[in-house]
Structure 1
Amino acid sequence: MHMTHDPAALPADTIGFDQFLAVDIRVGTVVEALPFPEARKPAFKLLIDFGPAIGVKRSSAQITEHHGPEDLVGSQVAAVVNFPPRQIGPFMSEVLTLGFPDAEGKVVLIRPAKPVPNGERLF
């Protein structure tokens, strides 16, 4: 979620379906959302349950403008689960929680329209 918000951005280069499949995007339920005061930009430390095959993973997410701990806990989010872990200050972020920028570039999370089993893969 470190992309520059540019409404005139052109689509990315064409890729093969196998390249899409290489990015493992799963759904999980947020079980904990805590403030992350050590982060350079406002963020939450999330614990997300991706079901028995993947388990509970940690994510640092810059989503504080539209989302608060009270609406995050118990809600489902989408995340890339096969990037290498990334150290962010004192916190190890294991998955990249996904969202889209609003008109001001503030992140709005991607959420399924209806509940789905934790760990299901985007296709």
Structure 2
Amino acid sequence: MHATHDPAALPAPEIAFDDFLAVDIRIGTIVAAEPFPEARKPAYKLTIDFGGTIGMKRSSAQITEHYTCAELPGLQVAAVVNFPPRQIGRFMSQVLTLGFPDADGKVVLFHPGMPVPNGGRLF
């Protein structure tokens, strides 16, 4: 999660269905979470397994308010896997892990209500 979003913001402009299809959102399982003390905003470094064709990817996620590094491994999360990698300090974030703001604007990870196969694409 790289940007702070205003929960009261107006809806985004209408887009074509093909625009939605261009964003590749996949499910993966967090296999490791580490502190990221050199990040400007509190964050963790995540390693996420997206299965066969995509494999392991890394992500910086500003999720320290609701999660500890110890509880994250094993949690399935959704991420955009086709944005270009983003350099954050000396860390290369390869995917954008998705979440929603709580009432205070703190990130709550977006994840399925039951286990699904890693690599599955959102539709």
Do both proteins adopt the same fold according to a TM-score greater than 0.5, normalized to the shorter chain?
yes
Q: 1: distance between equivalents of 2:61 and 2:7?
A: 20
Structural mapping, 1:1-123, within 5 Å: 1=1, 2-7=3-8, 9-123=9-123
For structure 2, the 5+ residue unaligned runs are none
Deviations 1:11-53 (A, max 9, x none): 1100011000000000000000000000000000000000010
Once the two structures are TM-superposed, the CA of residue 67 in structure 1 deviates from its matched residue by 1.0
Number of residue pairs matched by the alignment:
122
Q: TM-score, normalised by structure 2?
A: 0.96
Q: Cα distance, 1:3 vs. partner?
A: 3.0
Q: What is the root-mean-square deviation of aligned Cα atoms in Å?
A: 0.8
- The whole-number CA distance in structure 2 between the counterparts of 1:4 and 1:83 is 18
**Percentage of pairs with the same residue:** 72
- The 1-side partners of 2:39 and 2:87 are apart by 11
Amino acid at match of 1:29: T
Tell me the secondary structure at the aligned position of residue 71 of structure 2.
Answer: helix
TM-score normalized with structure 1 length: 0.96
Q: Which amino acid aligns with 2:18?
A: D
Contact 2:7–2:101 at 8 Å: present in 1 too? no
Classify the secondary structure of the residue corresponding to 2:103: coil
Q: Give the letter for the 2:73 counterpart.
A: V
Distance 2:101 2:33 in 1: 20
In the TM superposition, residue 10 of structure 1 has moved relative to its aligned partner by 1.1
Q: What is the CA deviation profile of residues 49-108 of structure 1, one whole-angstrom value per residue up to 9, with x for unaligned ones?
A: 000100000000000000111221011000000000000001000000000011111000
Q: Partner letter of residue 98 of structure 1?
A: L
CA contact under 8 A between 2:62 and 2:107: conserved in structure 1? yes
**Structure 2 contact 24–121 (Cα < 8 Å) conserved:** yes
